[in-house]
Amino acid sequence: MKKHLSAKTKWLIVAAVLLSVLVTVTSAMKTGGWASRTVQTILTPFRSASSALVRQVERYYDYVFRYESLQAENAALKAQISAMEENVRSADSLQRENERLHQLLDLSSKREDYHFASAYVISWVDSNWKSAFTIGKGTSSGIHEGLVAVTEYGQVVGLVTEAGTNWATVTTVLDSSLDISATVASTGYNGVVEGALATGSEGLLRMNYLPTDSVLRNNDQVLTTGSTVYPRGLIIGYITDANFDQTGVAKYALLKPAADLDDLEQVFIITDFDQQ
Amino acid sequence: MFRHLHLTKLQWLGILKWSLYGLLTLVVLLLQTVVLTQLPVFGVKLSPLPILIVCVCIREGPEKGGVYAILATLFWCLSGADFGNLSVAVLSVGAILSAVLCRAVLTLRFLPAALCCLAVSLVNESLIFVFKLILPPAVALSNYWRILLPTVALSMLFMPIHYALVKLIGRIGVQDDL
């Protein structure tokens, strides 16, 4: 075996190890980003084309095989819309009352102005330990690191963690690396939401640091509390389960993400908003 | 147009062969990142690219194949692969050693190649998993059996297709088929 390892082969092995170390060091020092950005910029048109092709195939498949199930889903959605319209009607009266109270207290109601940039998802990170995807727009469209990605319904999808000229990487809320300050809409309990990927609850979020005496109900809506990164009032998810954490002094809740991340085609990046 | 390059027919065939390997690598990378990430099998994302890299390296030998393995893993790493920097070393060295092993001890047939692909893929994924276990936010140990082993095993389903394609491309410019 040893005699089959020629000098050139040995050099190649050393080169591979050195290259690996070099990539690690440059990425840690954030000096080798240009190489990654160049490769991603070159790959973006190929990814966009492949993604568009896959979408076309999916649409054709859905048209052929999922027509009946779509009809049933449509009927269910219509029922849901009528129920929501009823909710909106009752909310209208509450909102009017709220506005009157604001005027009474001489408080001006402040509205956050969002500016969006829409982008299509062109590829996903091919790791089982990370939840992130690439979109086909980048700094040339005003997208940069630290912006929030949402669905068309204002559901949080994730955060832009890397951006190139014509691409950007969005790390989703399912990834354990993101922490979002959140509040339970119905009760006002505050906590921090993070992806439960690392804890073995794939596809769910975990809301930590809830008060011990908090009363949590299934399907309670969890919203962003608002920060310099996340605008206030974006929907993060719905409570599916709750329990005490390992310390026994705080509660945590498991949430189902509001955004359907398995079926994500297009996202909207909030490029600017009123932070007041 | 390319007459002034004065390349022989064999050199042209060599360029064609490596272009086809490059194209195949790009197609598999796109398949892995665009299609398979959206179609998890039994809840896991499959990873056929490491298997292709080992197959090409075994076919082309530790020297030419080794250079290809380094370039392919570096490209994969720079395209945004999770822990790609580790894969540059592990996959490249694993592929080179597989090529040496197949030539020195085993044979250049399907079964030894499949065993090498399985071993390299398992070692690569396991080392990444070790880092994921150590570095925060740490993953649960049970994920090794629940996610990692099925990922490696199911990714091996691509081995026959990769092997056949690599064998087909590897024949270009070679008189005696190995």
As a whole-number percent, the residues of chain A with pLDDT over 70 amount to 86
Preceding omega of B160 cis (within 30 degrees of 0): no
Residue-wise pLDDT for A193-228, tens only, equals 988 776 667 788 999 888 888 888 888 999 999 888
Residue of B nearest to A22 (CA): B85
Which residues on neighbouring strands pair with residue A235, listed in sequence order? A155, A223
Q: Residue A237 above 70 pLDDT?
A: yes
Mean pLDDT score, A36-59: 86
* Sequence ranges of the domains in chain B: 7-170
Judging by DSSP bridges, how do beta strands A266-272 and A148-150 pair with one another? antiparallel
Q: Which residues of B touch A17 (CB under 8 A)?
A: 89, 93
pLDDT confidence band for A103 (50 / 70 / 90): very low
A chain contacts of residue B85, beta-carbon cutoff 8 Å: 20, 23-24, 27
Judged by average pLDDT, the poorest of A131-135, A257-261, B5-9, B174-178 is B174-178
Shortest CA gap B18–chain A (Å)? 18
For the stretch A163-195, pLDDT in tens is 988 999 999 999 888 889 999 988 889 999 988
Provide, as residue numbers in chain A, all residues whose Cβ is less than 8 Å from the Cβ of B83.
127
| Predicted pLDDT of residue A29 | 67
Check if B150 contacts A (Cβ < 8 Å).
no
Contact B96 A12 (CB under 8 A): yes
Return the pLDDT at B55: 95
* Res A198: pLDDT: 65
Alpha carbons within 13 A on the beta-carbon side of A6: 12
Q: Which chain B residues have a beta carbon less than 8 Å from that of A51?
A: 34
For residue A135, what are the β-bridge partners? A121, A168
Overall pTM surpassing 0.90 (yes/no): no
Q: What is the mean pLDDT of chain A?
A: 82
pLDDT at B67: 94
User: Within 10 Å of residue A41's Cβ, how many Cβ atoms?
Assistant: 14
Which candidate from B70, B78, B148 shows the least CB-CB separation from A16? B70
Tokens found for residue A219: 């399907």
Highest mean pLDDT: which range of A82-96, A134-148, A189-203, B131-145: A134-148
- pLDDT at position A63, please? 76
Q: Does the pLDDT of residue A111 top 50, yes or no?
A: no
Q: Contact A16/B92, CB-based, under 8 Å? A: yes
Q: Are A126 and B92 an interchain contact pair (Cβ–Cβ within 8 Å)?
A: no
CB A172 within 8 A of CB A132: yes
The backbone torsions φ and ψ at residue A250, rounded to the nearest 5 degrees and listed phi first, read: -135, 155
Question: What dihedral angle (degrees, nearest 10) is formed by the CA atoms of B170, B173, B177, B178?
Answer: -60
Q: What is the arithmetic mean of pLDDT over A148-171?
A: 91
pLDDT in tens, chain B (178 residues): 666 777 788 888 999 999 999 999 999 999 999 889 888 888 889 999 999 999 999 999 899 999 999 999 999 998 888 888 889 999 999 999 999 998 887 777 889 999 999 999 999 999 999 988 888 777 888 888 888 999 999 999 999 999 999 999 999 877 654 4
Distance from the Cα of A77 to chain B's closest Cα (Å) equals 25
Task: Using a CB–CB cutoff of 8 Å, tell me whether B45 touches chain A.
Answer: yes
Which of A24, A176, A200 is nearest residue B142 as measured by Cβ atoms? A200
CB contact under 8 A, B139 and A197: yes
- Secondary structure (3-state) at A150: strand
Residue A255 pLDDT:
93
